[in-house]
């Protein structure tokens, strides 16, 4: 009888010693299930850890790439506007204007696969299949002149690919190369014979400005400017109130057509579009055309935007962005018009489409 | 009644005069307050001294007064292609002390700030661990809680200045930084709960947003001072700062402070993600690049006067104020130069100088109204002295993009206006 507690004590002691001293688990959390780990742990490491079985070739990759990636990165991975350039740039890393691309800079192919698979396309992440990821990766190698057009990338030959800049990186050496230089007792007096201004930021004129000063400049404290300006503004607005009744009719009608709640929702939904499209007073064409006045207007006619051929043709043939057409287009942009450039998977929810259309209608001319 | 309308007219008249006459008015106002006659703000009963102010509950969660409406985050539109993957800047020129309010602390998103509830929040730990685990938000609140203050600085803070002075104002040149007091649980406690296996040398942290980008950290750092935080400055994290849970990595570049933290993987090697190869690596003049440049070296900047805070009060007593910080520990000293680095004097460190946190310094001078070339340099507990921009360029060239901790120069002109310049 008396032996049992002794055995238990010994077992408890053994357990205690097997664990790190301060690491007695609290028993919080629950076991992660294999399906959950498979869903969330999508990391792919340089030695191929984490790669999913599959394959893809250059030609298929080109097709998928044109459909999903070219709108930002260009048909030849050359990068549209400021979006990343993915190809070329070899031998430029020591130049004044280095071009850092997959081919010229990235040390590991695993990074390309991992990033395309988990984070691209921008705005519709985690929609590229495993085989399409292999295919896009193969096409990007081809774009960088690293493989021929008959190349097939698979989980089996993946780690055989050596990136051109694989040896171009070294571990942070500031502690050895910089800290000794920057730990001397600093000079306090007569440290330089003379000091001249060599550059002025104002010469470049790239600072955001407001009222002729750098944006955010603190207002003067010796004027009661905020109070007074506020009061003056209110009065200025109040004075012409009588005549205002007649004037702003047209705008009021346009706005009254739209349910404010729906418009507010549309504004939220529009965030999915905002990576490529702008609306409002300061809107300009970026990756996509600016969308002021597009609602109710013929397709493909925003000034200064280079549309795909199918979109331009459709506009000339009489396509007008009515509610019905916008619903169909936004539900599935690619199915609606083959070959158009909008790399967006579409809004599946009819409510979301109605909301964003209502929002766009508030920017009709 | 007639008295109050008369006052209104006087004040509006004042403003018009101000718009027309500009600087002359400053002097006039000063004269009026100090000598020319009694100040009506004192001699006349003001509305606010007679009637009611706002009742309680006027703003159940308060915002700054409308008179501080200019103190906001601002961005530089030409920097990025769109606002979803972009950055803005803390108005450090308009703040004092050391704590950055969440509402104006700079934002950096790679795929927008997502809306995630505590109820929907999950954190997974997997990889080389004895027990792969999933935690809910509630689980996290049951681990021992800690409090720490740390600065979070984007590795690219000052990146636009590598080639030379570009932007007018420390909000834009040094404003990719904030400093908050965090409450949360230590990463080491969560890792102990899962049991890191002996082969586990690295952790990889990633977020729940669409960019899902992540960073690798060596296990030693993970077991040292890294926090899984859910409060900042005493309140829940704001959405744009990772609500409900973010990582706090004291002293290391902001990109590693993963927001909406959803997974911690334990590996035998670095993942070498896009954010630690293609980006956040430091291109050197020979075309090779430094990687794993995690620490933010000692740095400082004078926040006032600065281009967005010209001196408007004329000569005489002037408070020079600024911020200093180091990812290698505590700031022990800050020197200020009024003549472009020829001569230096020690500034006062105001309040506590905490390790890996923003430190406030002040220097009170009697300005004679002549031009100044203001500089500051931080010195930390390792003896590291903040270098000049040219000293950094001599080693790193100008294609480095990241980790520009060079000394900033402000040219204060005799009229009190301030410019961002470089000197030699």
**B305-343 tens-digit pLDDT:** 999 999 999 999 999 999 999 999 999 999 999 999 999
Residues of chain B in contact with residue A204, where contact means CB-CB under 8 angstroms, are: 166
DSSP string of B74-122? Answer: B--GGGSSSSSSEE-B--GGG--SSPPPGGGS--EESS------TTT-E
Contact between chains at B77 and A181 (C-beta distance less than 8 A): no
The answer to whether A119 and A125 are in contact (CB under 8 A) is yes
Predicted confidence band of residue A285 (pLDDT cuts 50, 70, 90): confident
Rounded to 10 degrees, the C-alpha dihedral A145/A150/A151/A155 comes to 160
* 8 Å CB contact between A78 and A140: no
Q: Which one is predicted more confidently, A284 or B18?
A: A284
More confident residue, A97 or A225: A97
Interface test with A, best of B274, B381, B391, B412 (most A CBs within 10 A): B274
Residue B255 above 60 pLDDT? yes
- Would you say residue A243 has pLDDT above 90? no
Distance CA B152, CA B241 (A): 11
Q: What are phi and psi of B394, to 5 degrees?
A: -60, -30
Confidence check: pLDDT of A280 > 70 = yes
CA-closest candidate to residue B304, choices B390, B408, B379, B179: B408
Element (H, E) at A214: strand A213-214
Question: What confidence score (pLDDT) does residue A23 get?
Answer: 54
pLDDT exceeding 70 applies to what percent of chain A?
Answer: 84
Q: What is the greatest pairwise CA distance in chain B?
A: 84
How many Cα atoms are found within 13 Å in the side-chain-facing hemisphere of B359? Answer: 28
C-beta atoms of A119 and B212 within 8 A: yes
Helix (H) or strand (E) holding B2: helix B2-21
* B86 part of contact set with chain A, CB < 8 Å: no
Query: Rounded to whole angstroms, how far apart are CA atoms A149 and A155?
Result: 18
Spell out which residues of chain B touch residue A192, defining contact as CB-CB under 8 Å. 340-342
In this complex, the residue of A182, A228, A276 whose CB is nearest that of residue B11 is A228
What pLDDT does A14 receive?
44
What CA–CA distance (Å, rounded) separates A272 from A348? 13
Q: What is the pLDDT of residue B34?
A: 55
Residue A267 is predicted with a pLDDT of 87
Q: What percent of chain B has pLDDT over 70?
A: 92
pLDDT band at B3 (very low <50, low <70, confident <90, very high): very low
Taking the C-alpha atoms of residue B208 and residue A110, their distance in angstroms, rounded to an integer, is: 21
Scan for tokens 């420390």, then name that residue: B170
Averaged pLDDT, A227-254: 40
CB atoms A218 and B94 under 8 Å: yes
Q: Does residue B31 have a pLDDT over 50?
A: no
pLDDT for B395 equals 97
Tell if the CB–CB gap between B419 and A202 is shorter than 8 Å.
yes
Per-residue confidence (pLDDT) for residue B417, from 0 to 100: 97
Q: Which of A43, A77, A234 to mutate to test the interface with B (most CBs of B within 10 A)?
A: A43
Q: Evaluate the omega torsion of the peptide bond into residue A121 and state whether it is cis, within 30 degrees of 0.
A: yes
Is the per-residue pLDDT at A10 higher than 90? no
Chain B residues 221-260 with CB within 8 Å of chain A: none
* Strands, E assignment, A107-234: 152-154, 169-171, 197-200, 209-210, 213-214
Residues 6 or more apart in contact with residue B254 via CB below 8 angstroms: B108, B152, B153, B154, B155, B176
Helix count (H) and strand count (E) of chain A?
15, 7
Closest chain A CA to residue B67: A226
* Residues of chain A neighbouring B283 (CB-CB closer than 8 A): 93, 98, 100
Measuring CA to CA, how many Å separate B282 from each of A83, A171, B400, B411? 20, 10, 5, 30
The two three-digit tokens of residue B85, written as one number = 């993957």
A266 or A338: whose pLDDT is higher?
Answer: A266
3-state class of B360 per DSSP?
strand
Q: Look at strands B359-367 and B316-325 and give their pairing.
A: antiparallel
Distance CA A269, CA B333 (A): 50
Which residues from chain A sit within 8 angstroms of residue B273, using beta carbons? 43, 111, 114-115
- Interface residue of A119, A265, A344 to substitute, partner B, most B CBs within 10 Å: A119
Which segment of A71-75, A295-299, B28-32, B405-409 scores lowest on mean pLDDT? B28-32
Q: pLDDT of A174-210, one tens digit each?
A: 999 999 999 999 999 999 999 999 999 999 999 999 9
Contact A163, A107 (CB under 8 A): yes
Average pLDDT (B100-108) is 98
Please tell me the least confidently modeled range out of B5-19, B93-107, B231-245. Answer: B5-19
CA A295 to CA A302: how far, in whole Å?
Answer: 11
> Is the CB of B30 inside 8 Å of chain A's CB atoms?
yes
* Strands A169-171, B289-291: pairing kind: parallel
Chain B residues touching residue A275 (CB < 8 angstroms): 82, 84-85
Average pLDDT over residues A263-283: 85
Q: Is A218–B309 a contact, with Cβ atoms under 8 angstroms apart?
A: yes
Q: What is the Cα–Cα distance from A263 to A355, expressed in whole angstroms?
A: 6
Closest CA to B318 of B359, B357, B367: B367
- Cβ neighbours around B13 below 10 Å, total: 11
CA A332, CA A317: separation in Å to the nearest integer? 21
Flag if B111 and A122 touch (Cβ within 8 Å). yes
The confidence band for B23, taking pLDDT boundaries of 50, 70 and 90, is very low
DSSP string, A262-301: HHHHHHHHGGGTTTT---STT---SSS---TTTTTSBTT-
Instruction: Return the residue matching tokens 């489409």.
Output: A353
**d(Cα A163, Cα A169) in Å, to the nearest integer?**
12
* Segment (H or E) for B367: strand B359-367
> Measured between CB atoms, which of A23, A94, A287 is closest to B192?
A23
How many whole angstroms separate alpha carbon B253 and alpha carbon A172?
Answer: 13
* Separation of alpha carbons B134 and B213, rounded Å: 20
Tens-digit pLDDT profile for residues A307-329: 878 888 888 888 999 999 999 99
Pairwise CA distance, residues B289 & A112, whole Å: 18
Note whether A171 contacts B81, CB cutoff 8 Å: no
Question: Distance (Å, rounded) from C-alpha A357 to C-alpha A359?
Answer: 5
Query: Which among A230, A251, A199 is positioned nearest to B12, based on CA atoms?
Result: A230
- In the block, residue with structure tokens 């980790």: B403
B26 touches chain A (CB under 8 A): yes
Q: Using one digit for the tens of pLDDT, what is the confidence trace for B109-133?
A: 999 999 999 999 999 999 999 999 9
pLDDT at A248: 40
pLDDT digits (tens, 9 = 90+) for A111-132: 999 999 999 999 899 999 999 9
Give the pair of three-digit tokens for residue A229: 């300006």
Q: Do B291 and A125 touch (CB under 8 A)?
A: no
Nearest CA in chain B to A191: B342
pLDDT exceeds cutoff 90 at A153: yes
Q: SS3 for A55?
A: strand
CB B160 within 8 A of CB B166: yes
Confidence grade of residue A257 (pLDDT, cut at 50, 70, 90): low
Taking contacts as CB-CB distances below 8 angstroms, the residues of chain B near A108 are 272, 277
- B213 and A119 within 8 Å at the Cβ level: the answer is yes
Is residue A149 a contact partner of residue A95, using CB atoms and an 8 Å limit?
A: no
Distance CA(B299)–CA(B375), nearest Å, equals 12
Two tokens, residue B400:
């480095």
Nearest CA in chain B to A100: B278
Q: pLDDT tier at A365 (50, 70, 90 boundaries)?
A: low
Asked if residue B170 lies in contact with residue B92, where contact means CB atoms within 8 angstroms, the answer is yes
- Give the mutation candidate from B10, B48, B81 for the A interface (greatest A CB count, under 10 A): B81
Euclidean distance between CA atoms B382 and B191, whole angstroms: 30
Q: At what angle do helices B2-21 and B23-31 cross, to 10 degrees?
A: 140
Cα gap B359→B381, rounded to integer Å: 13
- What pLDDT is stored for residue B234 in this prediction? 98
* C-alpha distance from A320 to closest chain B C-alpha (Å): 28
Most A CBs within 10 A among B158, B271, B311, B415, hence the mutation to make, goes to B271
Q: What pLDDT, on a 0 to 100 scale, did the predictor assign at position A313?
A: 87
Whether B293 and chain A come into contact, CB under 8 Å, resolves to: yes
Q: Which residues of B touch A208 (CB under 8 A)?
A: 74-77, 172
Q: Tell me the Cα Rg of chain A.
A: 30
Segment holding B127, helix H or strand E: strand B122-127
CB B288 within 8 Å of CB B299: no
Per-residue pLDDT band for B194 (boundaries 50, 70, 90) equals: very high
Answer for the pair B175, B157: CB distance below 8 angstroms, yes or no: yes
Average pLDDT value for chain B: 92
Task: Report helix angle A350-361 to A323-331, nearest 10.
Answer: 130
Say how far apart CA A101 and CA A85 lie, in whole Å: 6
Q: Which pair of tokens denotes residue A278?
A: 């702008």
Contacts 24+ apart (CB under 8 A), B311-314: B311/B367, B311/B412, B311/B416, B311/B418, B312/A220, B312/A221, B312/A222, B312/B26, B312/B416, B313/A221, B313/A222, B313/B416, B314/B26, B314/B27, B314/B30, B314/B369, B314/B416
Q: Look up residue A247 and give its two tokens.
A: 């004037």
pLDDT band at A346 (very low <50, low <70, confident <90, very high): confident
Q: Is the pLDDT at B351 greater than 80, yes or no?
A: yes
Amino acid A11: pLDDT: 46
Q: What mean pLDDT is predicted for residues B57-67?
A: 94
Q: What is the mean pLDDT of residues B408-421?
A: 98
User: How many CB atoms lie under 10 A from the CB of residue A241?
Assistant: 8
Q: Which residues of A fall within a CB distance of 8 Å from B143?
A: 26, 28
């Amino acid at each position: 009888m008396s032996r049992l507690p002794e055995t238990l004590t010994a077992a408890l002691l053994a357990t205690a010693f097997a664990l790190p001293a301060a690491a007695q688990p609290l028993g919080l959390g629950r076991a992660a299930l294999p399906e959950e780990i498979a869903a969330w742990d999508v990391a792919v490491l340089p030695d191929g850890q984490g790669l999913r079985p599959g394959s893809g070739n250059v030609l298929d990759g080109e097709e998928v790439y044109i459909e999903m990636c070219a709108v930002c990165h260009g048909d030849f991975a050359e990068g549209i506007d400021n979006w990343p350039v993915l190809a070329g740039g070899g031998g430029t890393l020591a130049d004044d204007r280095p071009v850092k691309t997959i081919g010229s800079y990235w040390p590991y192919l695993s990074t390309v696969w991992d990033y395309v698979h988990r984070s691209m396309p921008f705005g519709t992440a985690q929609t590229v299949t495993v085989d399409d990821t292999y295919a896009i990766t193969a096409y990007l190698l081809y774009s960088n002149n690293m493989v021929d057009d008959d190349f097939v990338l698979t989980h089996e030959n993946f780690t055989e690919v050596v990136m051109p800049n694989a040896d171009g990186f070294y571990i942070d050496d500031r502690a050895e190369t910089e800290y000794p230089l920057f730990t001397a007792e600093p000079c306090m007096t007569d440290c330089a014979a003379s000091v001249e201004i060599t550059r002025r930021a104002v010469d470049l004129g790239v600072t955001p400005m407001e009222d002729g000063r750098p944006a955010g400049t603190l207002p003067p404290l010796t004027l009661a400017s905020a109070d007074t300006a506020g009061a003056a503004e209110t009065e200025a607005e109040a004075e012409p109130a009588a005549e205002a009744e007649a004037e702003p009719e047209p705008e009021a009608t346009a706005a009254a057509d739209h349910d404010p709640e729906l418009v507010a929702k549309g504004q939220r939904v529009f965030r999915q579009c905002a990576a490529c499209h702008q609306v409002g007073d300061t809107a300009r064409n970026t990756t996509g055309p600016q969308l002021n006045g597009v609602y109710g207007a013929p397709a493909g006619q925003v000034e200064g935007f280079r549309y795909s051929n199918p979109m331009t043709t459709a506009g000339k043939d009489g396509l007008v962005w009515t509610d019905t057409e916008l619903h169909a287009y936004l539900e599935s942009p690619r199915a609606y018009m083959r070959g158009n450039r909008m790399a967006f998977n579409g809004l599946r929810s009819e409510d979301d489409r109605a909301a964003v259309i209502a929002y766009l209608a508030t920017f009709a001319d | 009644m007639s008295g109050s309308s008369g006052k209104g007219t006087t004040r509006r008249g004042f403003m018009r005069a101000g718009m027309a006459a500009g600087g002359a008015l400053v002097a006039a106002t000063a004269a009026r307050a100090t000598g020319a006659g009694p100040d009506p703000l004192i001699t006349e009963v003001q509305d606010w001294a007679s009637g009611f102010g706002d009742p309680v509950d006027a703003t159940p969660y308060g915002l700054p007064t409308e008179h501080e409406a200019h103190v906001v985050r601002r961005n530089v539109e030409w920097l990025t292609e769109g606002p979803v993957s972009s950055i803005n800047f803390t108005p450090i020129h308009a703040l004092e002390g050391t704590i950055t309010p969440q509402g104006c602390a700079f934002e950096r998103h790679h795929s927008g700030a997502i809306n995630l509830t505590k109820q929907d929040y999950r954190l997974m730990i997997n990889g080389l661990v004895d027990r792969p685990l999933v935690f809910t938000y509630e689980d996290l609140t049951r681990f021992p809680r800690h409090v720490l203050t740390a600065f979070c600085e984007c590795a690219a803070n000052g990146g636009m200045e590598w080639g030379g002075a570009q932007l007018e104002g420390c909000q834009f040149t040094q404003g990719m930084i904030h400093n908050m007091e965090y409450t949360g649980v230590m990463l080491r406690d969560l890792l102990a709960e899962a049991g890191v296996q002996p082969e586990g040398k690295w952790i990889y942290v990633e977020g729940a947003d669409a960019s899902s980008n992540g960073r690798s950290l060596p296990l030693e750092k993970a077991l040292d001072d890294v926090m899984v935080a859910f409060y900042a400055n005493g309140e829940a994290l704001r959405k744009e700062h990772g609500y409900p849970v973010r990582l706090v990595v004291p002293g290391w570049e902001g990109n590693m402070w993963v927001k909406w933290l959803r997974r911690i993987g334990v590996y035998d090697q670095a993942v070498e993600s896009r954010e630690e190869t293609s980006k956040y690596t430091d291109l050197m003049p020979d075309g090779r690049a430094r990687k794993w440049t995690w620490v933010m070296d000692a740095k400082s900047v004078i926040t006032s006067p600065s281009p967005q805070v010209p001196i408007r009060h004329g000569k005489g007593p002037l408070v020079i104020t600024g911020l200093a910080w180091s990812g290698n520990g505590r700031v022990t000293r800050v020197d200020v130069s009024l003549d472009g680095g020829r001569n230096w004097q020690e500034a006062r460190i105001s309040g506590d100088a905490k390790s890996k946190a923003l430190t406030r310094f002040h220097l009170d001078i009697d300005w004679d109204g002549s031009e100044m070339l203001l500089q500051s340099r931080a010195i930390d507990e390792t003896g590291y002295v903040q270098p000049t921009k040219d000293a950094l360029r001599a080693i790193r060239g100008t294609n480095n993009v990241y980790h520009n901790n060079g000394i900033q120069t402000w040219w204060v002109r005799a009229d009190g206006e301030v410019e961002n310049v470089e000197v030699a």
